[in-house]
Structure 1
């Protein structure tokens, strides 16, 4: 029996499926049909198989696009939700009402459907996946569960076990969860020794993070939400992103969740990412270039963002928000002067003389060419590079190496000095064409 390409409501679907299941799989005959939210059907079925379950695919007649396990593996878009989602947003595996008949979903067109019967430990239940398209271009899916009434509690337990197992694997994977994209699996992640910050700033940031991780009981005792917010601001190329990578690598107990912020990110997307961070807590919620979301054609209103940040659950097991911006003046006082949203603000600025000399010296000493006068060269270049970012300092060494390769020689001071001349002119031209945004009036106690 094929249900594809038929316009009908969810109530009609539930009635049809219930009758069909009763006829074809009597041992699953359900007293009612329930909907399941946020379940990755493929991963759940494979989880059941790992526990010895037998899975039967009920054919969809002669329908060439009926869903099967093989098709689910081939293309996760065929009837399953985002693989990262395990349970519904509230943490309940089943629809609170327990029935689909009251579902107000309008008439929809179901494109692909498939039914999977699972038998394990003397129990039997079925899942029906219906991938559908609203009359608008939006795609989604509905998952219907069938189970003999006395066994609903066992089925609930399977969902809970599955969620726990998925959560354990996600937290232990060492990857960075990118909301709406593929996970990032860092290789050779940076350490605290790889970042150069003004005296005391690195220690302060480390202390704040480590104290947060060690203070859950204090937060609970004071009855305040176990969450914290940091803002890293300053010109690009000086270590904001590297600092985030260091935090993600140095504290494996914090599961990183990154939200790619663009002008298309709205309240729904950001809210879902925040709930994901709460599900994976203790977690590190990364909001890079936060200013991009505000103004222009962005679908996210400033007030909506504030409400989402304020709404990080009081029941959270620890969410540390790390936001970055190159343009802090665009954020507004409601963020920059409001602890409880972003509690600590650190300027990651261009390096001073001492930092420049240390960094250039490290680059030269790590060179395979082993410059004998590396310290003197580093001191000279450091004095000439006032206003250079850390990224520009590294480019002096990279471009100097290219000059040396083209000349067929090992890197020498002349190559580095030539690179400095080129990059200094490039930097000055960029500053003339794109003057830095003034930040006066920003921050606690700043004067306008």
Structure 2
């Protein structure tokens, strides 16, 4: 595929744009004719009608230019009106707030600091509404109403999932099947028969959860809204939404890598997931490589046609594009100016004075390579003992998916490695590794 990214521009109404171009050309010809008449009558004062006509031409030309600009760039039907703020429904597995129950009808909410939240803080052109799971099980109607009201004040809309669905959908299919596969770790291989049975159960829960998200979206959808679905938790959501309202504008963005077609082919539900995502109007990825892998999977597994703009299926084009994601850097710059932050920075400088500091900030996840990082640091200290008292590794780890056995094993492994290294190379006054577990962000991961 040529180019370094997929072209995500929407097709334009060529008939309407052509009419606008024709009208603009007619106005220009009329203006030229008017100028010619003026040259022929040079030295005479223009009459009042001529002034009004020229002023009208100027206004009409301005109108045409604005309308044409809007038609080409945004398809705006009312260029002379003040643009309305587009309403955006952001649908993610987790809401950007963490809920804690204080009573039968009382809830405490705190803003989370996950990657999706940080990325969307800079989106100010839209009136956003968040739809997602609040992270807690609320079986009673009184609690659901109270939480819905509390979240509504923060422009959030909850999806209520019971514990069984969460276990099989989130801990099961999402984090035990899709997450490892999308990071090239493969499917679980402990017991093939048991894995097959649990896989089918988890897959059914995954589809049911996606349908529950779709039901909530349809309850709050208004004509003209744009629905933006996020991540591998909701790959069935575009199809569920389009089946009930084909005119709905739906986008889907993946916050993880998308594997090559050879890896994706090993997933039993590979075709169902691909076709469900293709129901969206626009599919986005972090990098061009991920977008290319997705298009390749659609062509090799589904037999569809891949184009530089996306994937075409029987005349319908699903646009595929790469959208590198970032953060709101101004928030971090302003945070450095806070007195508490400055005080803490000075404390750290005094504490580690005279030593080189290596900083690592990672989620406690199997794909982040924290054990490998620690073992590499141990190897460095073995080969260069001179640096034992001159360097320190400050590793901040954010716990995630604490209910999944594989992540529990990873946590124990990291703690064991840190203890062994500090025991070998530590002294009475200093240790080479400072391992900090940051529980503050625990509820924000997975956004």
Which structure has more helix as a fraction of its residues?
2
Q: TM-score, normalised by structure 2?
A: 0.23
TM-score (structure 1 length as normaliser) = 0.23
